[in-house]
Structure 1
Amino acid sequence: MLPLASIIRSNMIALSEASPQVPDSASLRDITLATEAARFAGWQVYSIPQDLPEGVSADDAMWHIPRQPEIVPGVWIGYIPLPSHYEQIYEAALSRNIRLLNSPGQYRRAEEFDRFYPFIEDLTAESRCVSSMAECEEAAQQLGYPVFLKGTIQSHKAKGIGSCVAHDAEQLATIATALLSSHRRSLGTVIVRKLLDLRYSRIGPGGFPFGREYRVFVHAGHVVGLGYYWEGEDELASLDASERDQVTRLALEAFRRLEVPYLTVDIGQTKQGDWRVIEVGDGQFSGLSQIPVHQLWARLTEVVRSA
């Protein structure tokens, strides 16, 4: 029989927002797959709501989760939360001796562009972080059209190229206004970026080119998952050994600079052959892309247990 200390050390908690009551989406499918993979890999899974109903605290929402005898690692599998919500869940989990892999400060550094950009400025496209239309127009003039626009958290690229790429001041105003009106995407900040000319072979809905891009999951300095960013067959998806090495080294460099324990790094290749960081994110809330979910969770579990 294993000693008690070993049993406690192997205990790992996953907080999951997977729910059949939520409308189907690509995000929900990823959350559901990740939840099942976590359970299969040995994590004890507890359900938590996506948002807290009015008058319900994070502690109330987690009443069913027992306090652990000692501090154990925790992972939150869900949709990108507002910073205040992340902090509430983090503290409620910690009061039960469950420590999420990323602290509230590390979560914000991974998810909010204006917080992580200064660390990786030379690894990614030149960008400006602005909070007004006047600043947005000035940034676009400095960078030169066309420019890519996103909120500090997310863009509207799923709606097509016209919702994120501006070729003139009129398009800029339309896209920026939509971003500023979506607090969950922008948190009041719009990012104006020099448009990277990525290699691509496919064009998606709304004319958005599927650039040659990869998502890398990194925990504690170890790559735990790497796969092509876009769904579907793509002649550019495979990497040779040299390319995989370049993508891995760039992802680990971003990880080293940001010091976020569980990080995703999206990396794309330009038509000139250079590799550039697109953006980063908190691994707890990042989509799976084409990464085999069970391999990801098996490797993450191995690294967590050895930490």
Structure 2
Amino acid sequence: MTLLLLPCDVLNPRRVDEHFAAEAEAARAAGLEVALVDHDALARSGDADRAVRRVPEGGEAVYRGWMLRAERYAAFAEALRRRGVVPKTGAEQYRRAHELPGWYRDLAAVTPRSAWTGGDDRADFDRARRELGAGPAVLRDYTKSMKHYWHEAAFIPELGDGDAAWAVARRFRELRDEDMVGGFVLRRFERFVSAEVRTWWAHGRCRLVGAHPDTPDDLPATGPDLSVVAPLVAGLGLPFVTVDLALREDGAWRVVELGDGQVSDRPASIPPAALIDLLREL
């Protein structure tokens, strides 16, 4: 039987983090065992063994919790293995889903054209900027954008204007600070005419379609056409991912983001029991 691992409450480590309480309740109602992990120990101190000390030994496990850097997840997975627990998503699988360079080339046909750097220096940024070519772009790092700071740290109106583009990159770097992952990612700007749709996939099959957590009550009148996307996602060979899609102005459904399902937020409009049913398929 799969063990569900959830983050504990910061103030009461014997209680599940309130954000995941409904999923814990649904899991127990479905007969799954739930164990708590210390997310702060994983993410901040890097003490993975302390983080999993309440996890029972043996069996297989799936995590549902806050984002972890890929290297922190690798330490987490190794600490679980020392307890005889096999994570359903391995460390390299997590990195491939969690960081854009891991999945971009396989989904290049259905996602905005992108170029990225290995760090945060101006020369590497200019190289990526020239690689993408003139025109508007959206800036992010390997895992996250700053879309709530759209004009100052996300949208670049013209990549041909190197100084103006670099000003956006500097502000992005300042805002992300120590949370920045990898390097800069420049994505060709595409005009979307729908809210984003978050789809949930188990072993390459789409099992849930719902709203994006940022717009939990906003779904397009018709669901996304997955006929082109589905074989590409299946080809990644990843056990549990989410794929966010939006409708481009020309009528094509485009992949905005792919993420590891373990750390993808569930919108309030998807019942926790539906997600637990999906986890039981892993």
TM-score range, shorter chain: 0.7 to 0.9
Whether contact under 8 Å (1:154, 1:185) holds in the other structure is no
Give how far 1:220 is off.
1.6
Alignment partner of 1:197: what SS?
coil
Whether contact under 8 Å (1:110, 1:281) holds in the other structure is yes
Partner of 1:44: 33
Whether contact under 8 Å (2:37, 2:54) holds in the other structure is no
Partner of 2:126: 137
Give how far 1:183 is off.
6.2
Structure 2 gap segments, 5+ residues each:
none
Partner of 1:166: 156
Kindly report which structure 2 residues correspond to 1:135-284, keeping only aligned pairs within 5 A, or say none.
135-141=124-130, 142-168=132-158, 169-180=162-173, 182=176, 185-200=179-194, 212-229=195-212, 230-234=214-218, 237-240=219-222, 243-244=223-224, 246-247=225-226, 249-284=227-262
How high is the TM-score relative to the length of structure 2?
0.83
4+ aligned runs moved over 6 Å, structure 1: 53-56
Partner of 2:266: 288
Partner of 1:110: 97
Letter in 2 for 1:12: T
Stretch deviating more after TM superposition (53-62 or 138-147): 53-62
Stretch deviating more after TM superposition (177-186 or 280-289): 177-186
1:31 to 1:184, Cα distance in 2 relative to 1, 3 A = farther
Question: 1:251-304 CA deviation, whole Å, 9 max, x = no partner?
Answer: 422322211111111111101101111121100000113433221212331x23
State the identity as a percent. 23
Separation (CA, whole Å) in 1 of partners of 2:172 and 2:136:
17
The alignment of Structure 1 onto Structure 2 pairs a total of residues equal to 268
Structure 1 gap segments, 5+ residues each:
1-10, 23-27, 201-211
1:263 to 1:163, Cα distance in 2 relative to 1, 3 A = same
Give how far 1:40 is off.
3.0
RMSD (Å), alpha carbons: 2.6
1:128 to 1:89, Cα distance in 2 relative to 1, 3 A = same
1:225 to 1:233, Cα distance in 2 relative to 1, 3 A = closer
Give how far 1:52 is off.
2.0
